[in-house]
Amino acid sequence: MKLLNTWTRKLSIGMALVCMPCSAFGQIANYPSIPMEMGTLPGPSEYSPEMMGYGAPCDGSCDAYDPRMGGEFGGAGMAGGLLGRHANCGPGSRLSSGCGPLGCDGGTFGDGRSLSDLFGALTSRLCSIGGLLLTPYGEGGVAAQRWFDFSAEAIVLSRTTGAGSRNFSSLGRAPVNASDFVLSSDQVDLDRYRIGLALQGNVQVGPGSNVEVGYFGLNKWSESATVTSAAPGTLYSFFSDYGTNPFDGFDDPDRSLSHTIRYESSLHNGEVNLRRRWAEPSGFLQGSFLAGIRYFQLDEQFGFTAIGNNNDTFAANGLRFFDYTTETKNQLTGFQIGTDLWLNLIPGVKVGTEIKGGVYGNHATQETRIRANSLPAFGIPSIDEQASDGRTAYLVQASGQAVYRLTYAWTLRGSYQLIYVDNVALGPENVNDEPPALFLPNSTRTVRVNTDGEIFYTGFTTGAEYTW
């Protein structure tokens, strides 16, 4: 460990020297060459100094490019050499051919004079806009292991798909044209971004292995829509099949002055995973496999409210009302597997992707409450129904991620998220349009829970990681 720390200190000094020539106007000076005796450079025993990002000193002829001198693992920049090297200079690198503070063809730390020196150019630009303040913390080099102890992020999600389109109100009795349906679930799509919280903690349990505990949620969506009639008594509801069953509808939900629908949804996710990490010999690519247990909870509420006056007029001769509310709850519990892959761009900057998913048992319930102006006449304040069911559900989560290390302890992180959930009970899809027998004798209303719904979330996260 002492040898590795000594080497990383030298690497940090090299990064500082990269940025020292940066001027206040963002101009980039040529990087100085740092001659060093390669045989005395400390480093992990399994890697040669060249593989750890050190090239040989430069001379004045570095501008002469000679592709014949490249090699599969020619030296610098963690497995360099695919693009050759400059004549009379140190070993080549996979993605560069410029002179840097660690020698000619220093790979990650080239000066960006060659178009192939992608990473060197990135380092140069970081210097030009912020000097040392924006240069990532590069201790450990390109092969630094992906690790953090705790992370906290804001997670912002939108529902791009959810409940299917369904009509709830018409202007006039059926049969009606499509344009006469004036209130539908499309008007309360939960497609706006809502912010929540994401937390994760890691505990190492063995070489390359750790247990991680994660949570995200607290995102809550709420939308409503209202339609009013220009003439009294012209709004009809789904409850009477738009004024046809019974003819001219019910007194409470039909021939109304206004109809309103409202839709709410929230989610919570918790998981415990065992993750096993791996890295290629050069450390340029790293990844992991995971397996664990996941709990996902989706709660929804959908409501329909009708307001009218007695005698179906605008006169204030008594309020008629009808309120229908359905609540659904999904509790998914099951086993999941996943994998991730990370690309180390430059020391302190990584990009990666992750996918995980599994099969879950969904304990789904729905509760419905109907309140209406006429119910007290039957001696009851409301009609209450409840149903539950168990069904197999599926959840897949994929993400693209990036991290930027500020200091030894703190790293900025961000990601783009895709989450798909199938076989869940959604609020609008559990509204039962069959009237209870109390409203319509001989009605065949069946109390059940519909778990055929699916949801697709998209969004992003931004936050920080902490390592102690």
Give Cβ neighbours of residue 120 (< 8 Å, ≥ 6 apart): 96, 98, 100, 106, 107, 108, 109, 110, 111, 112, 114
Q: Residue 256 burial by CB count (10 A; 0-12/13-18/19+): exposed, middle or buried?
A: buried
Domains of the chain in start order, with CATH, are 2-133 (no CATH), 150-466 (2.40.128.90)
Q: Identify the band that residue 309 occupies on the pLDDT scale cut at 50, 70 and 90.
A: confident
Taking the CA atoms of residue 304, residue 305, residue 311 and residue 313 in that order, the dihedral angle to the nearest 10 degrees is -110
Give the per-residue pLDDT at 176: 76
Give the per-residue pLDDT at 232: 74
Residue of higher predicted confidence among 410 and 102: 410
Give the per-residue pLDDT at 126: 52
Indicate if the pLDDT at residue 99 is higher than 80.
Answer: no
Closest of 173, 172, 169, 194 to residue 182, by C-alpha: 169
Question: Left if phi > 0, otherwise alpha if psi is -120 to 50, otherwise beta: which for 290?
Answer: beta
- HSE-up (13 A, CA, CB side) for residue 316: 0
Distance CA 67, CA 328 (A): 66
Distance CA 248, CA 324 (A): 19
**Tens of pLDDT, residues 101-133:** 333 444 433 333 443 345 555 555 555 555 555
Distance CA 110, CA 108 (A): 6
CA 452 → CA 332, 380, 397, distances in Å?
A: 14, 33, 19
Give the per-residue pLDDT at 10: 41
**Tens of pLDDT, residues 221-272:** 999 999 998 777 789 999 999 999 899 899 889 999 899 999 999 999 999 9
Give the per-residue pLDDT at 227: 94
Q: Identify the band that residue 171 occupies on the pLDDT scale cut at 50, 70 and 90.
A: very high
Indicate if the pLDDT at residue 94 is higher than 80.
Answer: no
Indicate if the pLDDT at residue 150 is higher than 90.
Answer: yes
In this structure, of 291-295, 358-362, 439-443, the range with the lowest mean pLDDT score is: 439-443
| Opening angle at CA 249, ends 245 and 254, nearest 5 | 140
Amino acid at position 396, single letter: V
Cα 242 to chain centroid, rounded:
41
